[in-house]
A = this chain, B = another copy of it.
């Protein structure tokens, strides 16, 4: 398989975080690349008139319980951060500022931001936390700080979000492989099987 998986997520999505801990291993099994594509779920909520699952009545408490149960099942360290959810604009911009120049480091930054938030309660909604995380990975502080305010970076993120909506992406994690879309952690086994079999 040479085609890449597009992996859409929001840095503030706990299911996105769980998906992020598992997707690379699945792709690797099938010698497949993964394009990490952070975007803003808020744009989906606005488009569809919906709200974050964990904030909804009835479904919210269930999903918090399910997140803990799922993370234990998969052996993924996880807790629901406080504050939660947060705006992941700065995290997204840092990622897209970096990704063309150094995709490997950009993915590492994404993973570090995700783990910082969902393991160590480091609030990636704050630009300073995003910058500190980047600096800890050896990225220049001035450069990344400037990147967060760069007009091209802002435009790139807007374009990514619009592109995601145009493709029908509406959740996190959300995977596209060829023409096939897989929504949610609970479709990663279907994606895995799709990669293995070539589809059914």
Contacts and interface: CB of A to CB of B under 8 A. Distances in A.
Interface residues of A, number: 26
Nearest to A170: B58
Interface string A151-192: 000000000000000001010000000001101101101100
Contacts of A47: 58
Given A73-B193, A190-B70, A168 B48 contact: no
Nearest to A174: B62
A72 interface: yes
Contacts of A48: 56-59
A83 interface: no
A66 interface: yes
